[in-house]
Amino acid sequence: MEITKVKSKSKINIGLDVISKRDDGYHNIKTIMHELNLFDEMEFSTDAQGFEIISDLNIKKEDNLIYKAYRGFCDYVGEDLNLKVRLNKLLPMGAGIAGGTFNGAETIKYLNKAYGYNMKLDELISFSKKIGADFPYCLTGGKCLAEGIGEILTHVNYSDPYVLLINPGYEVSTKEVYENLNLSESRVDFDKILEALQNKNISELSHYLKNNMEDYVFKKHKELDIIKDRMVKFGGASAMSGSGPTIFGIFCDRDLLMDAYKYFKDRYKNVYLGGNYE
């Protein structure tokens, strides 16, 4: 029995603009997706009768994005496949960093290869976007400007900054946040955000960086605004990732990063360095 081990990544949204609601219930968005070097550990094999998952997660199978990805793949190919998954969940859940969707994306990649379907990325994206809007990016990875519901991806280039993440330890309902958004808010200038990232200009990045989901979430969870403000005072550009509640800071100075890390590490359990600092 061959076991495949993978590191299932995560992401932050460097700016997030929810533009409009679509007739299909999804929302049109614009965001820069940035892959993090923070991951869950997964093991896959075909040594199962149908679908089997081993993990400490206390959620129903039907709500698990790994199972949803498995079911979506099987429905697409018209065949029920055998799959055993072992998940070591290291990332916080419901955190706005797409940990669960990356788990699902790795499941699709494994099934595609293990059973010899060898579908191209475009085909995987075409059916997986029906499972969840983050699947196209999570199958692609890297640094992308995402538009539409998240399926229109354009690779962007900039040097990896230092990234610090603070997760307060509770989940936020993405559905609730979308239902309470003020879609008349001013647009986010991603040209300026990308230019600031490329120039490593934290002051400019801090000026333009905005997630227009923050207003609703911060009203319910005032500590998130305090975390963001403190991150800025340490010299970072800061925003909420996705629908929250994770707050991230982007730094170009390692000393400032570590000062902030030590401060938050003393106060919060879930504090992460999310970049490649070798």
Active site positions, annotated? 11, 134
**Cβ-proximal residues to 25 (8 Å cutoff; 6+ apart), any chain:** none
**Cβ-proximal residues to 149 (8 Å cutoff; 6+ apart), any chain:** 22, 26, 27, 28, 29, 129, 133
Give dist(CA 62, CA 59) in Å, integer. Answer: 8
**Cβ-proximal residues to 145 (8 Å cutoff; 6+ apart), any chain:** 30, 31, 32, 33, 153, 154, 156, 190, 194
**How many other CB atoms sit within 10 Å of the CB of residue 80?**
12
CB-side neighbour CA atoms (13 Å) of 221: 20
Kindly give the pairing relationship between strand 27-45 and strand 162-167. Answer: unpaired
116, containing H or E segment: none
Say if residue 175 is exposed, middle or buried (CB neighbours under 10 Å; 0-12, 13-18, 19+). exposed
